[in-house]
Structure 1
Amino acid sequence: MKILSIKTVLFILSIFSCTATLGQSKKKPNIVLIFTDDGGYADFGFQGSKEIKTPEIDKLAKQGVKFTQGYVTASVCGPSRAGLITGQYQQKFGYEENNVPGYMSPSSKLLGEDMGLPLDQKTMGDYLKSLGYKTAFYGKWHLGGTDEHHPMNRGFDEFYGFRGGDRSYFAYQQLPKNHPDKKMENGLGNFEEPATYATDLFAEKAIDFMERNQEEPFFIFLSYNAVHTPMEATEEDLKRFPKLEGKRQELAAMTWALDRACGKLLDKLEDLGLDENTIVVFTNDNGGPSDKNASINTPLSGTKSNHLEGGIRVPYLIKWPEQLKKNASYDYPVSTFDLLPTFYAAAGGDLNDLENVDGVDLLPFVKGENTERPHQTLFWKKETRAAVRDGDWKLIRYSDRPAELYNLADDISEKNNLALDYPEKVKVLFKKLYEWELTLERPLWQLKRSFEKYDNDRMDNYKL
């Protein structure tokens, strides 16, 4: 038997070491999506706020890429989430309206019982699970309240949160009987009220999941209900903002708690040695509702529920130290429906496997490998109200007054309506909007009075 020399042994060991290092560098990235609720465009430090303090999220902004023109697919919670989680315009499968009391579908026996993400639609969780990811969802779901619509039946291995659109940040002393979707739930059907402030608890659940799954790729959808109503903050957090009053003080305190929770999560990624190869995204579901939570969207006009920029343009960050530059910005319009293909491609998936997706993989654009716009045209629609952005031109269609036309390159605040100055541009954009609408499904649910007005024949058997 031939004995190898020490030099040869060392050479062989070096090959094994290089191979191991190469294998480690090619490990699929972990993915953490931090999705907040009803945040104002200007209510974060990295967005220019001087009174709302967000040091941890500001740090995240400096560690990654800031999208200066980040959009959502809808100006209200439910449809926006449906577009995000499926990577497409949610109107294509009829998810145009918010799934809240007062709306109904023609097939409902009880008001709103089947208003959820259609079961034939694949989610981020579904796609990433198919690539070997462990998946978890924490916080606000708002994509259907029945068991068949439950996160753990829609691609997620674990869930802690609530099925509906809002709830208290503290434990209910008496559970809301008429709104079971407000109950806090651990897994499927195991209801347990939170022992601590919900914002902190959601981050704790996500941290625990990371610790238990750090040896394999994971995807965490951390869906905070902060800073959505009800306006509830801890006394300790309120005391941090003595110069503010009323809702503005409550908003500042709730945002501080949100920032603290995000910071703990990001610190844990670093402690576990996972931060370099983890994609972290921070964004929000729609514009801030200035009436309900005193949010500020400046320099944008508009608020939640409308199609002015303040309703649909949101803070939007992405960090991936192994792949993306620090403290960078990207200035072309992007959408939250781009996140699904971006995550899927980063995880090693073939984009051709995605079904009906309207989003694109953002990484080649952010890296400068593709210098074109990710999207020449973007659309929004709710009932008869709609908007289309083509290049820097934006048309807003209303149900009760003439359309408005803006050039966002010169007028981010949408103060100068150019519709009368450029009638041909109005016609062109109206045509684009109509052609897009022809590809959409009819809304699966509408306000009850809408069905009574237009669908009396389908309402004959409906009983309240």
Structure 2
Amino acid sequence: MTNNDTPARPNIVLVFMDDMGYGDMGAMGGSMIKTPNMDRVAAGGIAFRQMYAAASVCTPSRAALLTGRYAQRVGLERVIFPQEPEGLSSYERTMADLLSECGYRTAIYGKWHLGARPEHNPLRHGFEEFFGIPYSNDMDPVHLFEGQQVAETYVDQSLLTKAYTDRAIDFISNHADEPFFVYLPHTMPHIPLHVEEGFRGQSRGGTYGDTIECIDHHLGRLLDHLDQLELSDNTLVIVTSDNGPWFEGSTGGLRGRKGESYEGGIRMPFVARWPAEIPAGIECNEPAGFIDLMPTLVTLAGGKVPDDRPIDGCDISATLRGEPMPERAPIFTFHQWSLNAVRDGRWKLHVRRRNDADQREMPQLFDMESDPTESYNQANREPEVLGRMLDIASRFAQHIHDQQPEAMARANAGPVEVS
């Protein structure tokens, strides 16, 4: 603490897997895959048991994470591909933008997936360094970027996890005397799976498990490096994933998978450690969302979130420290432009499945306290709750619909000058 009892601003390391399931982390109850270093983060800090991605697929989940705004506001409501014009507009303020203004040094090592044109590059969105791939590893061509230039046209993906971590370690060493923000969005375990030599065939979870155990090993290297530099105490380390598992991986018994608004597609493993401020071994069992991270991290850094646009997330810094969740708005889940689900307190309402799915039995109302696997529809039993939730859903869906043309125009435009 400083003399006025204000906590020091933390360094921040955000480790973000691609398609890792809720049940793939030991701290979340998984047993097939060994994750001792992720579990080490949980044991030294907090595990969120109901942390929601803002979408069940890559691009919109990441857009919401970095901006604190639902991806529909950003105009990135679906997965985008290399040849497409859409991308993160310069109108948007990312957590990297805002942390930079607070004096943080910023870097991203890994997968971006918020646009492939020059104006979409992470260096245009608050990051000082970028080393990684601009989209998913199943998209062609897979090129490795150094800043705004292609560094490699043939990429040995089995080496990426180590390479990203090496860069993060070097960046931390170079900026150990300054506040820093390292965003580490790993390529794995998104398919196609590639495994570093020494980890192949080691996991009970098959090749998928091998990739996660490799990530966990390199997370351990990073944690050890923070220890060696005596930075661990005031570094907030967050470990999570962008959305639920795809063809492999465990949801921990939750219903649904990637691409769905059921819990298995959007409830994420999420652990965080900050020894100076977070008590060891605590849990949060209340709903929170990726949209909360931008306002939370910016607040911890001493900054302010923009007041010239809607910010959907809320500051949960007190919850990180073990205090109750602040009163918050419901958490919404979309599939592209269609509102699919709403979580409000103990209740979760589904009004639609993804666009190409069977819509029978909608709406569905689940009591998440007694039925976390979303197995028993209570819509006929709870007409007052159903009516209230339908009204919440209808009003927010209309609000998003009204701002759709503006959001789409920004995402499809070139650089936007903000006065």
TM norm structure 1: 0.81
Structure 1 runs not aligned, ≥5 long:
1-17, 102-110, 168-175, 446-464
Equivalent residue for 2:54? 73
**SS in structure 2 of the partner of residue 228 of structure 1:** coil
Radius of gyration: which is bigger?
A: 1
1:213 to 175, 180, 193: 175
Shift of 1:96: 1.4
Does structure 1 residue 318 correspond to structure 2 residue 272? yes
Which one of the candidate residues 76, 81, 85 is aligned to 1:95?
A: 76
Q: Which amino acid aligns with 2:210?
A: A
Which residue of 190, 206, 211 maps to 1:254?
211
Residue by residue over 1:25-61, the C-alpha shift from the partner in whole angstroms, topping out at 9 and shown as x without a partner, is 9653211111111001101111222220111111111
Classify 1:354/1:278 alpha carbon distance in 2 versus 1 (closer, same or farther; 3 Å). Answer: farther
Q: 2:86 aligns with which of 109, 115, 120?
A: 115
Return closer, same or farther for 1:322/1:355 CA change in 2, 3 Å cut-off: farther
* 1:18-417 alignment, distance < 5 Å: 27-100=8-81, 112=84, 114-167=85-138, 179-180=140-141, 182-192=142-152, 197-241=159-203, 244=204, 248-289=205-246, 292=247, 294-351=248-305, 355-367=309-321, 371-382=324-335, 383-384=337-338, 386-398=340-352, 400-401=359-360, 402-417=362-377
Q: Which amino acid is 1:413 matched to?
A: T
Residues 1:23 and 1:215: Cα distance change in structure 2 (over 3 Å):
farther
The corresponding residue for 1:172 is none
- How many percent of aligned residue pairs carry the same amino acid? 35
Separation in structure 2 between the aligned mates of residue 89 and residue 414 of structure 1, nearest angstrom: 24
Match of 2:378 in 1: 418
Change beyond 3 A, Cα 1:385–1:341: closer
Do residues 427 (structure 1) and 384 (structure 2) align? no
Distance of 2:348 and 2:307 partners within structure 1: 32
Q: Post-superposition shift, 1:22?
A: 5.4
The answer as to whether partners of 1:393 and 1:406 remain within 8 angstroms in 2 is yes
Aligned length: 397
Q: Which runs of 5+ in 2 are unaligned?
A: 409-419
State the shift of 1:408 in Å.
0.3
> How far, CA to CA, are the matches of 1:27 and 1:261 in structure 2?
27
- Structure 1 residue 374: deviation in Å? 4.5
Q: Deviations over 1:162-208 (max 9, x none)?
A: 111225xxxxxxxx9xx34x200111114225576111110001001
Give the aligned CA root-mean-square deviation in angstroms: 2.4
Contact 2:233 2:274 in 1 (8 A): yes
| DSSP-derived class of the 1:231 partner | coil
Amino acid at match of 2:28: Q
Under a length normalisation based on structure 2, what TM-score does the superposition of the two structures give?
Answer: 0.89
How far apart are 1:375 and its partner, in Å? 2.6
Determine if contact 1:297/1:303 at 8 Å carries over to the other structure. Answer: yes
Alignment partners' CA distance in 2, 1:77 and 1:347: 27
Cα drift, residue 118 of structure 1: 2.1
Return the alpha-carbon distance in structure 2 between the equivalents of residues 61 and 390 of structure 1. Answer: 26
How far apart in 2 are the matches of 1:205 and 1:142?
A: 19
